[in-house]
Structure 1
Amino acid sequence: MTLPTINGEVKKIDESAGKMTIKHDAITNLDMGAMTMVFKANDPAMLKEVKPGDKIKFSADKVKGQITVMMV
């Protein structure tokens, strides 16, 4: 399954927890409206590629019960 690309803005990075906070548009594959929430990073290296304030395009999916950023 191809995951949709979502527009978002990075609000916070928490490298020690492997998570990022993103203000995002609706995530159709997860039936989620637009909001700001914390996501687990599928690959912790992606946390070094972005910083708060960055406008990003990303994909997200549910992995082991956690909503996870799969690609930035």
Structure 2
Amino acid sequence: MARICTPVWLTLAATIFVAAHASALETLPGEPPVEEKHQVIQEKAAPTDEPLASGRVVAVDRAASRITLEYRPIPALFLEGGTRIFHVDDPTSLKGLGPGDKVRFEVERDGRSYTIVRLVNSN
């Protein structure tokens, strides 16, 4: 008897679940329309007019043309904010930079590595 009733309970639970979500998506008169979820995500990840990301220098290795940056998220490259070592295309752009300096930079992705192609001191 229990085996026969189980599908009935599952069907009832699924119906309630679907009905609750459908009613949550309805708009009442006078409310603004509900935005689609993918539109909201695209707006958050939309690139800004300024293509440069921002960060703070943690360490500079001029001999190896590398820089360690603490940076904000870069949605265009699917990079969450954090600290990372980047290779720098132009080693002369590392001149005058030291720990604590604020920088703006442009990054290109090459497979699993990231290279800074433009680096600007913003102090």
Which bin holds the TM-score, normalised by the shorter protein? 0.7 to 0.9
In the alignment, structure 1 segments of 5+ residues that lack a partner are none
- Larger strand share, 1 or 2: 1
| Sequence identity (%) | 29
Higher RCO (CA 8 Å, separation ≥ 6 residues): 1
Structure 1 residue aligned with 2:102: 55
Counterpart CA distance in 2 for 1:37 and 1:17 is 15
Q: How many residues align?
A: 71
Query: Structure 2: which amino acid aligns with 1:52?
Result: P
TM-score (normalised: structure 2): 0.52
Q: CA RMSD in A?
A: 2.0
Structure 2 residue aligned with 1:41: 88
Counterpart CA distance in 2 for 1:15 and 1:65 is 22
Counterpart CA distance in 1 for 2:92 and 2:110 is 17
1:67 correspondence with 2:118: no
Structure 1 residue aligned with 2:64: 17
Runs of 4+ in structure 1 off by over 6 angstroms are none
Query: Structure 1: which amino acid aligns with 2:98?
Result: K
1:51 Cα offset (Å)? 1.5
- Larger helix share, 1 or 2: 2
In the alignment, structure 2 segments of 5+ residues that lack a partner are 1-49
1:42 Cα offset (Å)? 1.1
